[in-house]
Structure 1
Amino acid sequence: MKKENYDESNKHSLNHLQLPFLTETILRQSFIIDYDRNEKIVSQTTKLDYLYIILEGKARIIQQEANGKNLILQFLETGDFIGEQTLVKAEAMPKDVIAIDSVRCLAIPMGVVESTLMKQPEFPTFIAQYIGKKLLLRMTHFSNAQTFELKYRLAALLVEVAVNDQYSENNTQIADYLGVSYRHLTHTFKYLRDNGYIEKNKGGYLIDQKKLHELIRAGNEA
């Protein structure tokens, strides 16, 4: 992890996100934090000190079960928030959030968020809408599990989580996330590999974005 104070040189990372409530006053009290692959951004056992916005990279939200099993709840990407559920008191403690590859975040101290951002009229509405959209995405995920063949859902997931076309996730966790057996998932990976959608390599799979998008479109039209 590398942490530094926010300054003007970081402004380009925020321009494409269009978050007008991030005033210069708030940014001057914030930090830029860089995380390495598989590094924890947030820990389930640690009090949350910041509201994070992902500026670059992808991450996964993990829930640790009482039996020691780790379940993937959701994937995050550029523009996503970390800690919004804790901010609105929907959960007492955060879930584990782990960087899939290199991740850069804007970290706004929770004290600043509560004393300044939450008192701006547009921010509470924005964060409520953001949480609502994330809930709808979760509902769509479970709905797709009942209506789409696994090959289409796996194709969409590969496109979503691959970094530089490289997929390196834990397939036991992915099977749980997709609601299928490990054996079914393995057979589907074989189908994608045999048909040229992915190629096995040392780190996992190299994906063909163009072919996978064509497969996803075919699933949507089926």
Structure 2
Amino acid sequence: MDKGNIHHHHTGKSHKSCVSLVPMFNHLEDEQLDEIMGATQSVSYKKNELIYHAGDESDSLYIINKGKVRIYRLAESGKEQLVRILNPGDFTGEMALFSESTHESYAEAMVNTKICLIKRSDLQEFLVKYPSVSLKVIAEFSNRLEASEKQTTRFSTEKVETRIALYLAESLDQEGTGTIEFTLSMSKKDLASYLGTTPETISRKFNDLEERGYIKQITHKRIKIVDLDGLLLV
């Protein structure tokens, strides 16, 4: 799981698709995108390869172009705590935008992944030049802080069953298509880490919720919400 061979690609097209995927850049004009693209390098990682370790110098923004990345921390006991999963268009390393720092978490490619890297110095120039990008970055910071506070509160105040029920309700909301079905965005092992419990407990609680008529497990990862009001009262 050490950092393996890193392959750099400097093809304009893949850079452009990468940069234009990101909400904080996709409102810019083509000319502005081209400028940002010029400061971007494309890096490939194999499945299970670490993109960075806790303690590594944080000096770049990492934008997911293709693939999937898990961000996690290690407790003193060595136990993993999943922080978030990143998909194409998501980014990490944003703390590097404002100060010289080190990573506090680990980033690992869950599948073969392609990432676009932008160095701090280049990005800071863009933030000064294009204030709209700065506003988008602040909005993303605000969202992450809110999600982090919500997760911390849940860990300290809510029982596991409630955490699971709220996660399922929020997953339905994020799908936002008016449907009552959705696919879990992570494995039960990762979900257990994210919610501070064990995979066995996740499976048991899912079965309990199904028996009580709140959800239906269509496949291993496909869930149907049968009684949302009931689920929210768990």
| TM-score, with length taken from structure 1 | 0.71
The answer for unaligned runs of 5 or more in structure 1 is 200-205
Equivalent in the alignment of 1:101:
111
Q: Give me the identity figure in percent.
A: 18
User: In the TM superposition, what whole-angstrom CA distance separates every residue of 1:81-109 from its partner, at most 9, and x where no partner exists?
Assistant: 21112322395434211122233222112
> Given residue 93 of structure 1, which amino acid in structure 2 is its aligned partner?
H
Distance, in Å, in 2 between the alignment partners of 1:149 and 1:182 is 16
Q: 1:159 aligns with which of 175, 183, 204?
A: 183
Partner of 2:217: 197
In 2 relative to 1, CA 181–95 (structure 1 residues): closer, same or farther, beyond 3 Å?
Answer: closer
Taking the aligned partners of 1:216 and 1:81, their CA distance within structure 2 comes to: 34
CA distance in 2, matches of 1:119, 1:26: 13
Aligned to 1:88: 98
1:214 aligns with 2:225: yes
**Deviation beyond 6 Å, 4+ runs, structure 1:** 192-195
The answer to whether the Cα contact below 8 Å between 1:150 and 1:188 also exists between their aligned partners in 2 is no
Cα distance change, pair 94–48 in 1 and its aligned pair in 2 (3 A)? same
Task: Decide which moves more: 7-16 or 48-57.
Answer: 7-16
Please, what is the CA RMSD of the aligned residues?
Answer: 3.5
Q: Residues 131-142 of structure 1: matches in 2 within 5 Å?
A: 131-142=141-152
CA contact (8 A) 1:60 1:99 kept: yes
Instruction: State whether residues 192 and 198 of structure 1, in contact with CA within 8 Å, keep that contact through their aligned partners in structure 2.
Output: no
Match for 2:52 among 23, 38, 42?
A: 42
1:124 matched to 2:134: yes
The CA distance in 1 between the partners of 2:100 and 2:192, in whole Å, is 28
1:188 aligns to 2:205 (yes or no): yes
Residue 7 of structure 1 corresponds to: 12
- Quote the offset at 1:175 in angstroms: 2.9
Aligned residues: 205
CA distance in 1, matches of 2:228, 2:18: 31
Give a deviation string over 1:10-30, Cα, whole Å, max 9, x none.
434444541528532221121
| SS of structure 2 residue aligned to 1:66 | coil
SS of the residue corresponding to residue 183 of structure 2 reads helix
Worse-matched range after superposition: 135-144 or 72-81: 135-144
In 2: Cα distance, 1:216 partner to 1:101 partner = 34
Change (3 A) 1:151 1:124: closer
